[in-house]
Chains A and B, each alone.
Chain A
Amino acid sequence: MNISQPLYNLILFVLLAGLLYFLFRPTKGWFWIIQNSVRTDQKTITEDILKQMYTWENQGVDIFKEDLIKSLKYSDGTQEDVLETMEKSMLITQTEEVLELTRSGRSYAIKIVRVHRLWEKYLAEKTGFEKSEWHHRAEKMEHRLSHEETNILATKLGNPMYDPHGDPIPTHEGDVLDIEGESLAELDVDTVGKIVHIEDEPDVIYQQILAENIHIGSQIRVVENSKQRVLFYSEGEEFVLAPEVAKNITIQVFETEVVFEEDAVRLSSLKKGEEAEIIGISKEFRGDGRRRLLDLGFVKGTPIKIDLVSPLSNPKAYLVKGTTIALREDQAAKILIKKR
């Protein structure tokens, strides 16, 4: 090749750049795919099967071998082999084509679920990964942490009870709490409650919920519930969801004596000149950011108002306890206030 031919050089460069892109682009890069498939072994497949069966058994579904094999992304032959080994090692039993978890299979599955949820909690509290990434990362990590490592992780996180989606984390003895609540899609109009769980699977629906800016821990009141849509009111804003999406949100319905904080709105809705009082910080505001906010005086009962708006309208600076503190729009959406 002659280096004095610019056109060839440019073409070569573009090809090389393209190759590198396809090799290393995030998640879909060939390099990562190959790395993943190398890491996938008997153990991973076994654990994925156990988890899937555990989920279905909890829903009270009969597990047909065919359905199970179809639901997982591994090749049919491999799964057949793994299922056979699992039966031999007494993790599952098989009658006809229906599979069932044994006692030890069930407790193994619970351990995997524990690691998964603990890791999601870890990602939420101690790292900066986006919400939408937690699940995928935990899916990988659940196969890697040993029992001891899991317990150390749990201690470091202060033995949390719920993962960031509101799912209970099994204890290391294997006890699992049930989530008390009903699906949002099944609630009557005027029901008042609190969002306690947002299901992170399937991905497509979870992304829609994330895009709506719905927060776990928020109080809601159902305004309309029909076959076409579910409309509810929360934190001063109106949300409309397809029933398909609403199905994945679990609400803990309040008894009559709990007062619905009808006038609690998000700080992001405060306008210049209005005065308000802080009610609290949403559960979605996690980790260091949350502690910092408390340090700065964003606590219940503190008066707050807008001091300055930046030329590009975001961030806004708020006057809290005589100090001017700027917050971004998405942060302000996670602080609840009561307008005066």
Chain B
Amino acid sequence: MVNLNCSKMKNEVENIIGLSNELRWKLGGEFHDHISESIYADASEIVEETVNTAGKKGRNAIDVKIDQIVTSRKWGFPIMFLILGVILWITIIGANYPSSLLAELLLDTIHPALKSGANSIGMPWWLSGFLIDGVYLALAWVIAVMLPPMAIFFPLFTLLEDFGYLPRVAFNLDYLFKKAGAHGKQALTMSMGFGCNAAGVVATRIIDSPRERLIAIITNNFSLCNGRWPTQILIASIFVGAIVPEALSGTAAVFAVIGIAILGMVFMFASSWLLSKTVLKGQVSTFNLELPPYRPPRFWKTLYTSLIDRTLIVLWRAIVFAAPAGAVIWLISNIMIGDHSIAYWMIDSLNGFGWLIGLNGVILVAYIVAIPANEIVIPTVLMLTVLVTGMAGGAGAGVMFELDSVNATGDILRAGGWTLLTAINLMLFSLLHNPCSTTIYTIYKETKSVKWTAVATLMPLAMGFVVTFLVAQIWYMFS
């Protein structure tokens, strides 16, 4: 009885499905579209009738005025570049002072104090070396170099965002980015990358089209971040500044650094285009950009949220990664295999490859162990150079250091065999290499994909090898 009912019901269900299939053909292909569109149209009609808006409808007159200026043919671009330039300038110049204060406190005062404290309680040298010269020093370094520029850059940037200017930048530049298969908002995440690539990657959340967002994430590393500006400036003033007359050396160095930053943008556009035409072409791509009304920025709230949400989160991630890096740096410089430290053997085996791409083993080892933060590349390079050349100076095996005098730094590097080629290629490699581990981790968190994280990590590295290789070989040919 039950079975009979069941089969009867099944039959009926099948009949209904059959009938519905038949009827569907009579409705025509646009049936779904018509329904959804009329729902939307009805909804907007209901809103029109029932919702009262205070004040007059339409756009604020002041907003319209501002928009006409900041998106005009004549003023749109100059205003944009001026604002970005001023922000970067304030960040780089303004960060010097707090940075040197922090360095004095954390590196020159607390570090020796800790060391002598450890000695006085009879801590063995290897333990105090590992903990204080390794872990603590890397942490202190990252905080001293990273915190001030971020604490200046992010609030300024967030204020502009809050004011409503940034979407206009995306609007102005969209056509250029469209040509490269990207979204105009990538201009913003790219600018954010000038502060910190990890923050730039997080900022890509504003791009709601999947393909363009991935492009923005993968190419963010081509924005020279705060951790790399000081390296660029230092190397440019030592080596590029030296080849022009003394009076022009400052200007030449600045132009060299700006040139590298612009080269980064060129690579960003080129690889965006390449990605959108190859591996990413199957990803969904949409576009729309809302230009919200302007509003006076809420200064204190902005300051607070940008410090908490952006600066501290990024700093925390950097610290988490920097601590083990410090340990590794100390260990490879102090653990001996045969007559030499691990660092020596690594440098020795990488020297050949380093030569091929116009760098050297020291730089490559520094980039391997300093993956957590670009900030500690130069201190590591200096320490390793002193270590392998056996020259006087420095603070001991595995203890990173930096010198106050640009000339003295130059002397150490030249003694390590650096030439103008090494300097140029280091600047290029600093631009074109894998993102720091904080950024890599952030990319993974944002994409949830090992594949895209790998692409974002390895693509710039491969480009770096190719570019430095070509420059080096052509250089060797003519010298």
Contact = CB atoms under 8 A, between A and B. Distances in A.
Given A128-B282, A324-B291, A325-B288, A161 B171 contact: no
Contact of A312 (B29, B175, B355): B175
Nearest to A312: B175
Contact of A158 (B32, B210, B287, B472): B32
B1 to A, nearest CB: 32
Nearest to B284: A128
Nearest to A177: B25
A128 B285 contact: yes
A184 to B, nearest CB: 19
A292 B288 contact: yes
Interface residues of B, number: 60
Interface in A306-334: 307-315, 317, 319, 321-328, 331
B284 A319 contact: no
Contact of B291 (A171, A289, A308): A308
B283 A159 contact: no
A126 B59 CA distance: 36
Contact of B29 (A13, A129, A161): A161
Given A3-B356, A127-B284, A319 B174 contact: no
Interface in B39-61: 40-41, 44-45, 57-59
Interface stretch (A53-61, A88-96, A225-233, A295-303): A295-303
B281 A129 contact: yes
By secondary structure, the B interface counts as: helix
B24 interface: yes
A325 B289 contact: yes
A6 B476 contact: yes
Interface stretch (A32-40, A142-150, A280-288): A280-288
A294 B36 contact: yes
B469 A13 contact: yes
Contacts of B33: 283
B71 A309 contact: yes
Interface string A126-137: 111110010000
Nearest to B28: A161
B297 interface: no
B171 A315 contact: yes
Contacts of A239: none
A310 B352 contact: no
Interface stretch (B72-80, B145-153, B262-270, B370-378): B72-80
Contacts of B470: 10, 13
A160 B175 CA distance: 35
Contacts of A243: none
Contacts of B93: none
Contacts of B472: 6
A127 B24 CA distance: 26
Nearest to A3: B356
A236 interface: no
14 contacts: A9-B473, A133-B281, A159-B24, A287-B286, A289-B286, A292-B288, A293-B288, A301-B41, A311-B71, A311-B76, A312-B175, A315-B287, A325-B288, A325-B289
Interface of A: 3-4, 6-7, 9-10, 13, 26, 126-130, 133, 158-162, 171, 173, 177, 217, 280-281, 283, 287-289, 292-297, 299-302, 307-315, 317, 319, 321-328, 331
